């Protein structure tokens, strides 16, 4: 008999040997105390301790906002815990309908469709769009998220990879393609691991000149950029150039789920043909109600966005003053470049053990070997004092480990392959 257990044990051991085995910190978020959390101990005699979280995707702290919590409690009292089925079969709760209407209004589109996760939204939408357009060619940024890569792969469509944020390379690839075939250009507005922005105006100009359908993932921008939090394209006055926008409810909005928004026939096609939508249980009503409250609040409140920009800018300044290299300062995420897997884990361990500061080390395959980093996410709820303490703690550990300082940001970019997706791309990127 084949040794299945032994095979998978060996596969895991390979991960450990390469330094890529992932461990989870057992933490308990406490409502009203974010960014603090309880880190649970290793046994009954270890009560754990209070830590501060510096790598949360709850970018604005909406996961603990009183309006959101109130909306979720009310929905549980009204509708119970689960949805009861798929959207097709008894699971189409009124909160789902209201949320989709609110998201379509946010993006100024005809329709929107929600999913249990942002990953599912990307996978489903790209599978349908690229898979049903006859002879479709997909042009994908080399650093696109794993969920976009999965959707393109599942569609069976032929694809072309353009170098990250390289509009000229995209133009070359489009010019070489058959002008008669349908084309989709798929990209993100803000890239999480690099914290850089796509040249949206230039790319949209090129794509439109070649008659391509523009698919924009705004996961790291919705709620935080643009008028009413409609995203980076809206902030730049370019929203009407993009045919379909994909977003998440799990980051700026602080809950869970994903969505796509665009023209009614396109959204209806995804609704009607996407297996990942048809054959899955819909979001619990309370989750949809909480997301609805968060979207409505951030459409009228700029305070959270303003505070986030200020805190991120402060941390960038403090790290720059200490010569601690950051991959990019173009967005709210602060990717601190370490450049070595073992040392990256050592920095993260020292921050947690000595200072109670939790930052998850990001190693291969999420980022290329040699560009290992700490993906730091300051929020409006981190105080200026906490940010200074974080910078001082990181500076002390940097000195102790004799890590390089003032490393140019382009060195991280240069380590990324120029003509292909990252290795093991299905694992690349941050959670959707």
Number of residues in the chain: 432
Closest to 167 (Cα-Cα) out of 111, 214, 123: 214
Q: Catalytic residue among 14, 74, 183, 251, which?
A: 251
Q: CA–CA separation, 221 vs 232, rounded Å?
A: 6
Closest to 119 (Cα-Cα) out of 11, 303, 293, 258: 258
Query: DSSP state, 327?
Result: S
Q: CA–CA separation, 407 vs 62, rounded Å?
A: 35
- Please measure the distance between the N-terminal and C-terminal CA atoms of the chain and give it in whole angstroms: 39
The token pair at 418 is 């120029």
Instruction: Give the DSSP letter string of 336-378.
Output: EE---HHHHHHHHHHHHHHH-EE--EE-TTTS-TT--EEEE--
Q: CA–CA separation, 339 vs 351, rounded Å?
A: 17
Q: CA–CA separation, 109 vs 221, rounded Å?
A: 17
Q: CA–CA separation, 305 vs 226, rounded Å?
A: 9
Q: How does strand 49-53 pair with strand 357-358? A: parallel
331 and 196 in contact (C-beta within 8 Å)? yes
Measuring CA to CA, how many Å separate 253 from each of 66, 83, 133, 224, 378? 13, 20, 33, 9, 16
Which helix (H) or strand (E) segment is 322 a member of? none
Closest to 122 (Cα-Cα) out of 132, 110, 130: 130
- Residue 183 is among the residues annotated as catalytic for this protein: no
The token pair at 326 is 């950051």
Which helix (H) or strand (E) segment is 325 a member of? none
Catalytically active residues are 251
């Amino acid at each position: 008999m084949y040794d299945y257990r032994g095979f998978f044990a060996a596969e895991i051991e390979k991960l450990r040997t390469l330094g890529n085995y992932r461990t989870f910190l057992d933490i308990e978020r406490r409502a009203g105390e974010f960014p603090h959390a309880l880190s649970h101990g290793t046994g009954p005699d270890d009560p754990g301790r209070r830590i501060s979280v510096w790598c949360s995707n709850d970018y604005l702290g909406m996961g603990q906002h009183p309006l959101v919590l109130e909306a979720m409690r009310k929905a549980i009292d009204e509708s119970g815990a689960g949805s009861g089925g798929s959207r097709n079969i008894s699971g189409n709760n009124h909160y789902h309908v209201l949320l989709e209407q609110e998201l379509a209004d946010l993006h100024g589109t005809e329709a929107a469709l929600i999913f249990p996760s942002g990953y599912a939204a990307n996978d489903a939408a790209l599978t349908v769009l690229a898979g049903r357009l006859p002879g479709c060619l997909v042009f994908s940024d080399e650093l696109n998220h794993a969920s976009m890569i999965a959707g393109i792969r599942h569609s069976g469509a032929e694809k072309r990879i353009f170098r990250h944020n390289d509009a000229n390379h995209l133009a070359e690839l489009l010019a070489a393609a058959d002008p008669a075939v349908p084309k989709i250009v798929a990209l993100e507005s803000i890239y999480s691991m690099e914290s850089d922005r796509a040249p949206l105006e230039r790319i949209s100009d090129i794509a439109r000149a070649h008659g391509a359908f523009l698919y924009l993932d705004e996961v790291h921008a919705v709620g935080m950029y643009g008028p009413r939090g409609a995203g980076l394209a809206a902030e730049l006055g370019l929203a009407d150039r993009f045919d379909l926008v994909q977003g998440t409810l799990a980051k700026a909005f602080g809950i869970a789920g994903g969505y796509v928004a665009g023209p009614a026939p396109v959204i209806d096609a995804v609704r009607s043909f996407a297996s990942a939508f048809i054959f899955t249980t819909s979001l619990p009503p309370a989750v949809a109600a909480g997301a609805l409250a968060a979207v409505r609040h951030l459409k009228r409140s700029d305070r959270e966005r303003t505070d986030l920009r200020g805190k991120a800018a402060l941390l960038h300044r403090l790290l720059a003053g200490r010569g601690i290299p950051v991959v990019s300062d173009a967005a709210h995420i602060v990717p601190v470049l370490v450049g070595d897997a073992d040392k990256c884990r050592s920095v993260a361990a020292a921050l947690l053990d000595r200072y109670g500061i939790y930052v998850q080390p990001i190693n291969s395959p999420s980022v290329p070997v040699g560009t290992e980093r700490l993906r730091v996410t300051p929020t409006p709820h981190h105080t200026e004092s906490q940010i200074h303490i974080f910078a001082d703690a990181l500076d002390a550990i940097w000195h102790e480990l004799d890590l390089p300082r003032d490393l140019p940001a382009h060195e991280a970019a240069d380590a990324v392959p120029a003509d292909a997706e990252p290795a093991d791309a299905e694992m690349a990127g941050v959670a959707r």
